[in-house]
Amino acid sequence: MKTFTRILLAALMTVACLFSSAVLSAQSETYMNALRAMQDGDFSKAAKLFTQEIAANPDNDAAYYYYVTTLMSDNSRDNSAAIESNLKKALSLSPDNYWYKYALALFYQQTGRPELCSKLLEELIGDHPKKSSLYFDAASAYLQQNDIDKALTTIDKIAAISGKNEMIAISKMDLMMKKGESGRKEAYQFLEKYYEECKTPRLAAMLGDWYQQTYRDSLALKLYGEAIEMDGSYSPAYYGRAHVYQTLRQYDNYFNDIHKFMADPDMAAQMKSEYIMGLMEMPQFVVAFTPDIDSMMVESHAAHPQDSGLNNAISLYYYRTERNHYAIELMRQNTELYPDSYTIAFQYLLMLYYSNSWRGVIDEATTILQKWPAIHDALLVRGDAFRRLGELESAIDDYEAMAATAPKDSTTIMQTYPALGDLYFQSGNVSKSFKCYEKALKCNPESTIVLNNYAYYMSLGKIKLKKAREMSKKTIEKEPDNPTYLDTYAWILHLMGDDVEAKAIFKHAMLYGGKESPAVLDHYAEVLFALKEYDLAFIYWSQAKAALSDPAEIEKIDKKLKERRQQLDASK
């Protein structure tokens, strides 16, 4: 009913304003006061006065008609039956009234009775054969009845009345395309002939798009060129032609045209956002033409400085091209433009997070939690930022607070307790750490991440190694090529004295990324040393050292190498 309400309300108010003073002077004071109240927007008062007028003058057709306005203004209940009865009453009192019949036709259309709508519209067309808007309405009603051929015939009648124009062409094409792929081909064949007698920039660009989609680049360029000749500022033609030039690798021409499209403030910002997101799927192209694409970003932002979606897309472009400061600044501007949008604030938070701006994450997350205390997602993000900064107590506080928001919700449990298990272990509270892992496993016994981490921390403390081995075994059964899980399982086997089996597992891990991990290389070297394969062990320790960048970790490896060599010398 919303579309009908908007259209009919506008029509009713317009008609009320157009009544001549001579006509109005013949009406009662109650009716006049009702009209004034309606025009002032006081529909409640108008409803009471129209009701009084109808009771006093039941033959006043206009009172029924305008009373409908007040019924439509009340969104608290369904007034469909009353609207219909009052429109019918007005029409019965004045059967030739154009507006009464038209309003009732629209009502039938919006309430899913297109056959009644088309019947009334056909009567109106018979009385007003030169009113082209009625034909469009009738075509819409026929379409609702799936009578596409009748709708097309109705559109043709408009051309006979007013001549060929762009709207007729587009309306007829839309109808043809309802027939599916065959209708699509028919529509563009129709457009080719229609365009010969009705040339407009839009129709030319539509044909250009069709030729481009059907790989007829020369024809596409010709039609886009004709559109631009007719209107040098018609950006859709530049946009379409740019795509052809890009396909043909004529990049100078491509950028000349795409700049015009990006810089045009009249082109939809969403369309530009989608185009930028598409560019992100062509990283090699972006790298090759970064300066030109940078200009496109500046132009599109200048054309729509306050569009949050476009700012978001441009921000992603800067992030993907490793200019995080620009990406963060655009997101920050979005939060200033839309301070009441949680979504935009959280997008800014995530950009800070992905840019490893941990203090920025903490500050923005704190702001979000203060502004939207009932939404808790920022707790997880802030908690992880604290963890990465080594501020374990603050991280634990945030994860515990998040867990408390929904203590029985499985999603919340799996978001918080595995992390709490890690944090408590790192802070030295082993007992609490293991309780957190147990709670997570109770919620999801098959979580490989929890099983692996729990087993690994058990191995570090050499606690319940049999239980740790069984948990770790589950992870490699589920993911047999995961080097992290293979490392945990092999290390537990080593601690339990099964170095032969551990070596076999580590060899498998080496094939699936283990060589990139200093920790896996170090563990493998320990197993090889235990098996007295000393030369190979020192080779892997050397590789582990080469893979490290942290001076403190390098120092640990150097110390270990020195100790192992001393141990080896002492055994000789």
Beta carbons of 488 and 472 less than 8 angstroms apart: yes
Residue 525: partners with Cβ closer than 8 Å, 6 or more residues away: 537, 538, 540, 541, 544
d(CA 266, CA 314): 18
**Closest listed residue to residue 244, CA positions, set 214, 280, 202:** 214
Are 360 and 352 spatial neighbours (Cβ–Cβ below 8 Å)? yes
The answer, yes or no, to whether residue 17 has pLDDT greater than 70, is no
Domain 464-572 fold = 1.25.40
Q: Please provide the distance, in angstroms rounded to a whole number, between the alpha carbons at the two ends of the chain.
A: 94
- C-alpha neighbours within 13 Å on the C-beta side of residue 493: 20
Model confidence pLDDT, tens digit, residues 171-196: 889 989 988 888 899 999 999 999 99
The region, left, alpha or beta by phi > 0 then psi within -120 to 50, assigned to residue 497 is: left
Closest among 337, 327, 333, 266 to 297, alpha carbons compared? 327
Place of tokens 């950006």: 235
- Predicted confidence (pLDDT) at residue 42 exceeds the cutoff of 50: yes
Identify residue 505 by its one-letter amino acid code: I
User: Residues of 42-52 as b/e, b for ≥16 C-beta within 10 angstroms?
Assistant: bbebbbebbeb
Instruction: Quick: pLDDT tens for 216-275.
Output: 999 999 999 999 999 999 999 999 999 999 999 999 999 999 999 999 999 999 999 999
Whether 21 shows a pLDDT value over 50: the answer reads no
pLDDT digits (tens, 9 = 90+) for 365-422: 999 999 999 999 999 999 999 999 999 999 999 999 999 999 999 999 999 999 999 9
